[in-house]
Amino acid sequence: MQKNKWILISVFALFCLLGCGPTKQDLIDNLNANEQQIRELKSFFNSIVPEGYIVRIEFNRRKTIDLFVSYIDEEKGWIIPLFREWRINPYNYKEIPHIWDSSTETKSLELVKQRLGWTIDTFREIKAMLDNANCISIRSGEPAQIGFARRGMGKFSYLIFDKPISDELKDRFNNCYTTILYSDKVVLLWGTGAIGSMRFPDR
């Protein structure tokens, strides 16, 4: 009996990991309620990311962040990974040496903050702007990718454009199973995790 109980609990936990959580309608409702705040978030974040850099940040439930920073090598046109860490505390970060890891240029958050011109207060500002938009993550650029919420290991996001999307791009988004063209300046995006369907849920 005890063994069967744990099997049922494990199956339920896996089901929740894959399928429980927010829906496509929640994604749309949040956009309708907070589009102005979402656009203000995009404008603010792009204004604090220096030209030539790409930054993605996600705030987790345990008050930690995932932070990925890259920059463009102008001579070669390559994107160079500068920093990539998961579940770190940006307010009390302790660098852990990764001698075997050469996938990024640095493990120093202090160096990253210097390159970006950020301080500890910058992370607080980003978090406040995300909370105001009822979102959890953002990636700089045009379009900006703003994460609404996770569902299992996947994530619902918005691609926010400043200008109307071209007809060519509209066709691409309409024919892609991970995106839904919502308006001429907004695309709904589903990003799957290591497991689960790649197709947009509730489509």
- pTM tops 0.75: yes
In-domain check, residue 106:
yes
The reported pLDDT for the residue numbered 7 is 43
In-domain check, residue 196:
no
In-domain check, residue 183:
yes
The reported pLDDT for the residue numbered 97 is 66
In-domain check, residue 8:
no
Element (H, E) at 187: strand 186-191
In-domain check, residue 56:
yes
Q: What's the angle, vertex CA 13, arms to CA 12 and CA 17, rounded to 5?
A: 115
How many structural domains are present in the chain?
Answer: 1
The reported pLDDT for the residue numbered 63 is 84
The reported pLDDT for the residue numbered 98 is 60
Q: What is the signed CA dihedral for 192, 196, 201, 203, rounded to 10 degrees?
A: 100
The reported pLDDT for the residue numbered 62 is 80
**Residue 27 is part of which domain span?**
23-191
Tens-binned pLDDT, residue by residue, of the chain (203 aa): 555 444 443 433 444 444 568 999 999 999 999 999 999 999 999 999 999 999 999 999 888 999 999 999 988 889 999 999 999 999 999 877 665 566 899 989 999 999 999 999 999 999 999 999 999 999 999 999 999 999 988 999 999 999 999 999 999 999 999 999 999 999 999 997 655 567 888 87
Q: What separation, in Å, do the N-terminal and C-terminal C-alpha atoms of the chain show?
A: 39
- Nearest C-alpha neighbor of 137 from the set 23, 200, 81, 56: 56
In-domain check, residue 100:
yes
Peptide bond into 50 cis (omega under 30): no
In-domain check, residue 11:
no
